[in-house]
Amino acid sequence: MGADLYITGIDEEDGGYYRDSYNATSILWRLGMSWWELFEEYNLGDSDSEMTPEQAEGFLERVIAGKPLLDEFLDEELSVEWLKTNHCVADDLDGWVKMWSEKYDMLVEFLNLSISENAPIYWSV
C-alpha cells in the first residue's frame, strides 16, 4: 500500500507518476509529514482528489522545508540497527541513503513538473 500521485495529462514515463509507501521507507514520513494528513489538509476529498498547481507549490515548499529532517535522519539516525528494527534488509547502508535521497529528488521534480505545466495532481491515498 502507498500513495500514488498522477499529474493530469502527463504520462508516467514523462514523470507524471509518483509513488511512496506507507512503511518505514516513506519519504514523506522522513520529511515530518503524512500523506493522509496532507490529503485532509488540502481538502482533496472535496475536489475529486485533485491538488491544484497552486497547492502543489505550497506542498513543494513544505517538502523543501522538511529536508533538514531527512538530512538529520540520514546523518545521525540511520544505522544497520535501525534498518533491522524496521524490518529492512540491512546489508547496504549506502544503498539506503541513496534510495531516500533519490525519493526526495523525485518528489521535488514531480511537484515542479506539475507547477511548470500548470497541471493538477490526482491523489490516490
Closest-CA residue to 67 (of 19, 35, 104, 21): 104
Question: What's this model's pTM, rounded to 2 decimal places?
Answer: 0.89
Model confidence over 6-15: pLDDT tens digits?
999 999 999 9
Q: Grid cell 544505522 — which residue?
A: 79
Tens digit of each residue's pLDDT (9 = 90 or more) over 53-94: 999 999 999 999 999 999 999 998 888 888 888 777 767 788
Residue 6 burial (CB < 10 Å; 0-12/13-18/19+)?
buried
Residue 6: strand pairing partners: 17, 122
pLDDT digits (tens, 9 = 90+) for 34-54: 998 888 888 877 767 889 999
Q: Which domain holds residue 6?
A: 2-124
Alpha carbon distance 9, 19 (integer Å): 17
Number of independent structural domains in the chain? 1
Task: Determine the average pLDDT of the residues in 89-102.
Answer: 85
